[in-house]
Amino acid sequence: MTKRWMAALVGAMLSPVAMATVTVTFEGFYTSQSQAIDCAPMDWSCVGTTTTLGTPIAFSQSFSFEYGVSPGRLPFVTSSSQGKDGTGRTYDWMTASQRYANFLTHDPADAQVPALPVATSDPVDRTGAQLDVNTVARRLRSVHAWTDTGETLRSDESFSLNHAVIWTNADGSYSQDSFSISPAKSPSFAGTVANAYDVTSDAYFLALMDRLGGCASCLTVNLSNRYARADGVTGSTSLTGFGRIVSITETASAVPEPSTYALMLAGVAAIGVAARRRRAAAANG
């Protein structure tokens, strides 16, 4: 190991990427239920039935995710398309998604999806299946503009929190529990480009959630179970409702103790000694 690489390694360990844990607590009521059971493979017409719950089901839960404080925001991922209004005039539609967290683990302790408070018919055996726990937090923007003049029609801003727990078997069958929350309405932002950075604070995303999710029915919430059998038969049960964000708390991850740094530096020193011995042995050989 050269001195340059050793210095880089030491610098990386002494300057760890700071992380923060954000916990969002929200509450509300599920107001409708949809269910599609044992849909034949490739049967896109099997959309199931949606019913209004006679008595809304109250919910209250918390959702946690981590993101890097430095560098913090991740680049926007953009896409564009075109559409036409009622008169046939064409407009351009640009969307941008900026991920603040996107973590995949395989630890069942990371699962945060509550049990569905309604009966499900999931036939997939989860015993011994591969487990994937995926957590995503996004900021979303979209801009509509007339194609011929470039005049902006509207600029919308939103966010989404998504969490899925997926069990996959070797025969291709899978079972998925998930939930998501997003604003019921997307307000406008002061800008004409979806992926422009008009803010510099990493706290902007948390402030965005607080601003768009605080009123009584500001959020759209979905909780669901989906499955696919080995023969391609699929099904799903989901609940949809409205709610509000009760609180948002942010906790910085602990900085390693001095003793931890000492152990890391000792390891680097040992690597350096071993490298010198290899070079000396090669020279004498």
Cβ count near 166 (within 10 Å): 16
What confidence tier does 7 reach under pLDDT thresholds 50, 70, 90?
very low
Peptide bond into 75 cis (omega under 30): no
Residue 35 has pLDDT above 50, yes or no: yes
SS3 assignment for 158-195:
EEEEEEEEEEECCCCCEEEEEEEEEECCCCECCCCCCC
What global pTM score does this model have? 0.76
Residue 173 has pLDDT above 50, yes or no: yes
Query: Are the C-beta atoms of residues 237 and 116 closer than 8 Å to each other?
Result: yes
Cβ count near 209 (within 10 Å): 24
Type of residue at 278: R
pLDDT at 50: 86
Of 272, 252, 230, residue with least CA distance to 1:
272
Of 93, 91, 90, residue with least CA distance to 81:
93
Residue 74 has pLDDT above 80, yes or no: no
Those residues with Cβ within 8 angstroms of residue 58's Cβ, 6 or more apart along the chain or in another chain: 27, 28, 29
Query: Are the C-beta atoms of residues 68 and 48 closer than 8 Å to each other?
Result: no
In whole angstroms, give the CA distance from residue 198 to residue 190. 9
Of 191, 228, 187, 236, residue with least CA distance to 209:
187
Of 133, 174, 178, residue with least CA distance to 160:
178
Both tokens assigned to 17:
């990427």
Residue 145 has pLDDT above 80, yes or no: yes
Type of residue at 205: F
Query: Are the C-beta atoms of residues 175 and 208 closer than 8 Å to each other?
Result: no
Residue 169 has pLDDT above 70, yes or no: yes
Q: pLDDT digit string (tens) for 209-254? A: 998 998 989 999 999 999 999 999 999 999 999 999 999 998 876 5
Q: Are strands 19-39 and 234-252 parallel, antiparallel or unpaired?
A: antiparallel
Query: Are the C-beta atoms of residues 116 and 165 closer than 8 Å to each other?
Result: no
Which has the higher per-residue pLDDT, 75 or 10?
A: 75
